[in-house]
């Protein structure tokens, strides 16, 4: 089961050839997916040969094969982690029962909605990133962008497989709609807010892959615990791909910081105007981009307390991050979780029933993970002897969803008046001027081994290839 069958039109390890109806339905969806890719995938790239990795097995370690591929010929397929025959549901009211191989009737609507919402983010990010190739800082980065894009396409396949295999006609209709909504479209937008924001430049792209793909990681981790076994298994495999997306973000920002710190040291200055004249991105601007992407991504976790979240957990559909490793009863009846409340416009510590606070708990897990990344960036800064520290803003900063929506909270967590906020917004969030400056840096560097001035080269190439390797060949 772990080997992938590539002799079929749709590569898979789910025995698709044994289910002719399902196979036919997916083969019917496949050309529509390709049409979507050609229309909404990376612009002007259909003939490029890109050094991509393709999944050939779901075994840890040896799953990927690297070679030149034209993106429309990428072997998008359906790969689930192997089934554990004895797997039991690990939490909620069904704890200890065998994991479901089919959708329980009473949870059909809820599961479908979760799968559609997850699935919708995948093509959305491809749409958001489709123009970035035109301004890539190097061939290495261009290839990484395309790798992320094709894998998001595959994540769409992962969700569409579940919809087709387990949700009948409704599922097929949802699968069609996933190709019809468009990121940022006024009439038919993608489902979640962050996936309708533009990704206009590479700094935004690296922030997106660092923060928003990391939201993806946490959502997938929670769904990887699901009592619905096919969902759990597909999410586990998606997580191996997601790790690369976050790598692209973390190392991308690290290289930006590194380049700026080099310039700061060489020219003995921390003056943003001087640094901008040198063509690098001053660290306060990086911090403002970070603030924006952090806040937008926190909203993706939903409201602090949520009866939906409680239902998902109690029903056995969506667990907590690393549920299996947590030491408690995995049912959470009578348990509490600390949250922040808003009283008279002020933030005060509060407490909520743990089952209702699961969004908040997942958000806190996410924040811990981003803090670790931040600490790694700060080590780079310190290594250059530069006196600057990146900080994750307060969780109530600039939120549009949940208890803090509509409040004005500084990145330090201080509730301020709208007037104070407006006076200081330029310190908190990227201004039009910041965005215009970053935009002005976005040239296109495609000579092998060359990198744009605003970003340092990476430590090493891809899959043992040198930095001068021609990662993308234009045809
Ligand atoms: Fe994804
Ligand atoms: Fe991703």
Ligand nearest to the CA of 213: 2
Angle at 453 between CA 447 and CA 456, to 5 degrees: 90
> What's the gap in Å between 213 CA and the centre of ligand 1?
7
Query: Residue 242: inside a domain, yes or no?
Result: yes
> What's the gap in Å between 369 CA and the centre of ligand 2?
16
> What's the gap in Å between 166 CA and the centre of ligand 1?
21
> What's the gap in Å between 244 CA and the centre of ligand 2?
8
Query: Residue 10: inside a domain, yes or no?
Result: no
pLDDT of res. 98: 98
Ligand nearest to the CA of 220: 1
> What's the gap in Å between 158 CA and the centre of ligand 2?
13
Q: How far apart are CA 120 and CA 138, in angstroms?
A: 29
Domain count within the chain: 1
Ligand nearest to the CA of 123: 1
Ligand nearest to the CA of 245: 2
> What's the gap in Å between 413 CA and the centre of ligand 2?
29
Ligand nearest to the CA of 147: 2
Ligand nearest to the CA of 208: 2
> What's the gap in Å between 160 CA and the centre of ligand 2?
16
Ligand nearest to the CA of 209: 2
Over the chain (475 residues), what is each successive 10-residue block's mean pLDDT? 72 93 96 98 97 83 85 94 95 98 97 98 98 98 98 97 98 98 97 92 98 97 98 96 96 98 97 98 98 97 97 98 96 96 92 98 98 97 97 97 95 94 95 98 97 98 97 94
Residue 219: give the domain boundaries: 16-473
Q: How far apart are CA 435 and CA 56, in angstroms?
A: 41
Q: Are 182 and 189 in contact (CB under 8 A)?
A: yes
> What's the distance, Cα to Cα, between the start and end of the chain in Å?
37
Ligand nearest to the CA of 248: 2
Ligand nearest to the CA of 158: 1
> What's the gap in Å between 246 CA and the centre of ligand 2?
7
Whole-prediction pTM: 0.96
Burial 432-465 (b: 16+ CB within 10 A, else e): eebbebbeebbeebbeeeebbebbbbbeebbeee
Strand runs (DSSP E) across 127-209, as ranges? none
Query: Residue 3: inside a domain, yes or no?
Result: no
> What's the gap in Å between 159 CA and the centre of ligand 2?
14
Query: Residue 9: inside a domain, yes or no?
Result: no
Q: How far apart are CA 150 and CA 126, in angstroms?
A: 8
Query: Residue 257: inside a domain, yes or no?
Result: yes
pLDDT of res. 1: 40
Q: How far apart are CA 358 and CA 307, in angstroms?
A: 10
pLDDT of res. 236: 95
Query: Residue 440: inside a domain, yes or no?
Result: yes
Query: Residue 1: inside a domain, yes or no?
Result: no
> What's the gap in Å between 220 CA and the centre of ligand 1?
9
> What's the gap in Å between 124 CA and the centre of ligand 1?
10
> What's the gap in Å between 195 CA and the centre of ligand 2?
12
> What's the gap in Å between 194 CA and the centre of ligand 2?
13
> What's the gap in Å between 270 CA and the centre of ligand 2?
34
Query: Residue 112: inside a domain, yes or no?
Result: yes
> What's the gap in Å between 215 CA and the centre of ligand 1?
10
pLDDT of res. 7: 77
CATH number for the domain spanning 41: value is: 1.10.620.20
Give strand pairing partners of 415.
409
> What's the gap in Å between 153 CA and the centre of ligand 2?
10
pLDDT of res. 61: 63
Q: How far apart are CA 384 and CA 93, in angstroms?
A: 53
> What's the gap in Å between 253 CA and the centre of ligand 1?
20
């Amino acid at each position: 089961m772990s080997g992938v069958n590539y002799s079929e039109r749709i590569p898979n390890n789910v025995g698709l050839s044994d289910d002719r109806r399902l196979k036919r339905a997916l083969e019917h969806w496949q050309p529509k997916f390709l049409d979507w890719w050609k229309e909404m995938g990376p612009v002007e790239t259909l003939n490029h040969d890109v050094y991509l990795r393709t999944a050939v097995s779901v075994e840890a370690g040896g799953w990927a094969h690297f070679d030149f591929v034209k993106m429309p010929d990428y072997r998008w397929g359906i790969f689930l982690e192997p089934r554990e025959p004895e797997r039991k549901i690990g939490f909620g009211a069904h704890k200890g029962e065998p994991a479901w191989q089919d959708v329980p009737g009473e949870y059909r609507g809820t599961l479908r909605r979760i799968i559609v919402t997850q699935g919708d983010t995948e093509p959305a990010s491809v749409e958001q990133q489709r123009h970035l190739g035109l301004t890539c800082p190097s061939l290495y980065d261009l290839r990484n962008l395309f790798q992320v894009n094709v894998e998001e396409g595959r994540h769409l396949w992962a969700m569409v497989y579940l919809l087709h295999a387990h949700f009948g006609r409704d599922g097929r209709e949802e699968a069609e709609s996933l190709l019809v909504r468009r990121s940022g479209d006024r009439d038919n937008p993608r489902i979640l807010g962050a996936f309708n924001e533009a990704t206009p430049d590479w700094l935004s792209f690296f922030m997106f892959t660092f923060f928003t793909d990391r939201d993806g990681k946490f959502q997938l981790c929670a769904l990887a615990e699901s009592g619905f076994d096919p969902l759990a298994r597909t999410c586990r495999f998606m997580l191996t791909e997601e790790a690369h997306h976050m790598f692209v973000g973390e190392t991308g920002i690290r290289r930006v910081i590194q380049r700026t710190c080099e310039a700061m040291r060489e020219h003995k200055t921390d003056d943003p105007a001087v640094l901008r004249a040198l063509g690098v991105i001053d660290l306060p601007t990086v911090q403002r981009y970070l603030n924006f992407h952090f806040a937008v991504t926190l909203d993706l976790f939903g409201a602090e307390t949520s009866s939906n979240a409680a239902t998902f957990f109690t029903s056995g559909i969506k667990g907590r991050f690393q549920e299996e490793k947590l030491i408690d009863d995995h049912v959470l009846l009578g348990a509490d979780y600390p949250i922040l409340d808003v009283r008279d416009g002020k933030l005060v510590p509060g407490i909520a029933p743990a089952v209702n606070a699961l969004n908040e708990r997942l958000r806190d897990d996410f924040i811990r993970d981003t803090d670790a990344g931040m600490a790694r960036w700060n080590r780079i800064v310190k290594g250059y002897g530069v006196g600057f520290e990146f900080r994750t803003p307060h969780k109530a900063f600039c939120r549009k969803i949940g208890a803090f929506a509509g409040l004005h909270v500084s990145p330090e967590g201080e509730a301020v008046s709208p007037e104070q906020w407006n006076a200081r917004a330029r310190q908190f969030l990227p201004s039009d001027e910041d965005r215009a400056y970053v935009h002005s840096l976005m040239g296109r560097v495609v000579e092998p081994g060359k990198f744009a001035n605003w970003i340092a080269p990476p430590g090493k190439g891809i899959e043992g290839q040198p930095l001068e390797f021609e990662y993308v060949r234009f045809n």
